[in-house]
Structure 1
Amino acid sequence: MIKHTLAFRFRTDVSAEDAAAVLAELETFPGRYPAMRNWSLGRNISTRDSTFTHAFSVEFATDADLRAYLESESHERFVRERWRPVVDKQAIVSYETSDESRSPAVSTSRPRGPYGMEYARVEVPDMARTIEFLQYHVGLQLEEHTDEYAYLRADIEHHSIELISAPDRETGHTSAVGFSVENEEVLEQLRKQVAGAGHEILELQERQRGFCEAGFAVRDPNGLVVELFTEFHEYAEPPLTELRPVDLVHPFIATPKYEESLEFYTKVLNFLPSDHIVGSTTFLRCEDRYHHSLALQNNKEHYVAHLCFAMKSFDHVMRARARALYKGEPIASDLVNHSASTSIAFYMHEPAHGPRYELCDRHRVFTLEEHETHRARRMRPDPRNIDVWRPAADDWGRF
């Protein structure tokens, strides 16, 4: 086992926003470099030495894994273009340690669930218009476009949004969501659980089969297609766009089959509950440890209410919000402070583009220990348990 640590301090002329953007990008590394284990990043709280303001620590199984990360084109580009211009001083230490020397790990004998959300498939009446919206207002990069479909990505993953041309529709419709799985062993276990629960095993969409190693699909109790797969294709580098998300975090699903859906996602697909708003909403997480990679809302109708994208920083959220205001793009919910995920966000919604698009500044990530031991809170059905800035306990108008 190789432990790799880096202590650093930002230059004094670097703005707080630029420093926060670099820290946010560092937090995406475990998802971008699968060989990383036990990642942690934090501010220096030592009272004895203030040479460095921050540090991160990560483990690799072998020295070859560490070298592959350090020598990768995407890492070298990050160092050259993002790191060196803002960092004043750093110290790097890498050393070998045995697994036996580590503290006993938290038990992970529970069945594993999906790793995290990768994409949503959205049918739209005017694909060209939706592409323009997703590029300018969400910050996605168009990678492939035909008359029938289009792929747009946020980071290195092949795509975050797949658009399907549906000119007969009046409004957009989310027909599928895709989640990656850590390995084929977990995928096979999930397949057995799906079949054992009496659900039909479906083939992946034909094009999607070309973007992964293996996988299958299943319909949830609402008819939404959930695609599960391993080894989702990636690009060597993220898009070089001025304003873009770093990750697609979760779908928020409204359902009249709330209890049945909760049973499906937790008992069949092994999602873990993070928090409940009693009788209203449950937040579920995957193995990427985001506070929630999926949320279920008790509702009279079924629809995917929104898709959440995490931006590089709060500054980028505000820049995207300014674009929406200047262009007159409908803002469905403006600057909310989510108590559960600790994120600040706003929501855009033009029905022709499908769900609402939430752009947030960050999203709570559980530690490894929290991920295994966290007990879901049962919060009152009060708007302040969705937005801590809300002054009224009886105003659900915007939600």
Structure 2
Amino acid sequence: MKTFAHQVKSALPAASRVLALPLLATALSACSMFGGSEKPKPLDLGPNPGKIAVHQAWSVKLGGEVPLAMPALVKGNTVTVVSKNGNVTTLDGNSGSQIGKFSVGEVLSTGVGSDGQRTAAVTQSNQLMVFAEDKQLWKRSLTAAVYTPPLVAGGRVFVMAADRSLSAFDANTGRELWSVEGPSNEPLILRQPGVLMAVENTLVVGVSGRLAGVDPDTGSVRWMAPLAAPRGTNDVERLVDLVGPVSRVGSSVCARAFQASVGCVDTANANVRWTQSSKGSDGIGGDEQSVFGAESNGTVQAWRRSDGERLWSIDKLQYRKLTAPLVLGRSVVLADDLGTVHMLSREDGSALARLETDKAGVATSPVVAANTLVVVSRSGTVYGFKPD
């Protein structure tokens, strides 16, 4: 338990101990973008370019609103979405038909994790609950809030809390297997998903601007790779947490440090391949050749995955609150807080097509399941789009 906290702390500059306070990324982004002045209006995008023929194949109303920062979970051909009222609904990506649904009975703090058999959820009262076949198996009380979806893998449930502590539980019984503390000198945290994923036989987590490789059996740190370092003169400016989603291709994992940078790490040898300055608040997407992300002001950028060279940048979507991008075929897909889904060319960022949901705005990054583009609105409506 000492090893994880000690290694993280030794990699960070000393800071005075301050009470940890949750922050909304959108609030910080708004402050940095507009300086408290009236919000600029988005550009008129003109007619739909229609270079890709896509139609709405289905839509489903969940019966409850979907808050921001609640990632949809894709497993095979299914997509699982959580509602503000605590419902967890699994849909068939092809048809939109409901495959499973259960209620946690409380408001959730983030999206769910699943291995296809067991589904883990965390409530705002810090209760970790695990369900199988829509019935609760067990629950455990946690000591801190959780904003990153749990990871269910290898018969275990891994949880990264807002204080960046990391814990592992037996997926069938709920018995705690190990727990390690996070850094104790972070005054602020983000109330949005961080990085928690499996890469081969290593847990890869985001801790204070660094990717860390953790032994899933013991919680000991195998390696740490810095993508950003704290800067600035106040706690807000020094906040450099890594945010999800990330882009993984083999051993290459690329991630965003909040309002600081984007970079890629080779997890096979813990080598930082590159980092580039980038003022964004949401995660990134990518493929074998490129990495894509949106700045807080709505500028969309592409970097070459191998060395970080900037490939293109477009500003036509400025002043729209954009989601993290999804790479789908020859397009990069982002959605905004006006309910519009933008399909851009991977090659140069030019507009290929636009899709409309509802005016409540899109709650989380688009995903793909069963060759269907799935978009979740904050109104609680899930949309499925397919090519003509």
TM-score for both structures, normalised by structure 2: 0.29
Greater Rg over alpha carbons, structure: 1
TM-score of the aligned structures, taking structure 1 as reference length: 0.28
Question: Larger helix proportion, structure 1 or 2?
Answer: 1
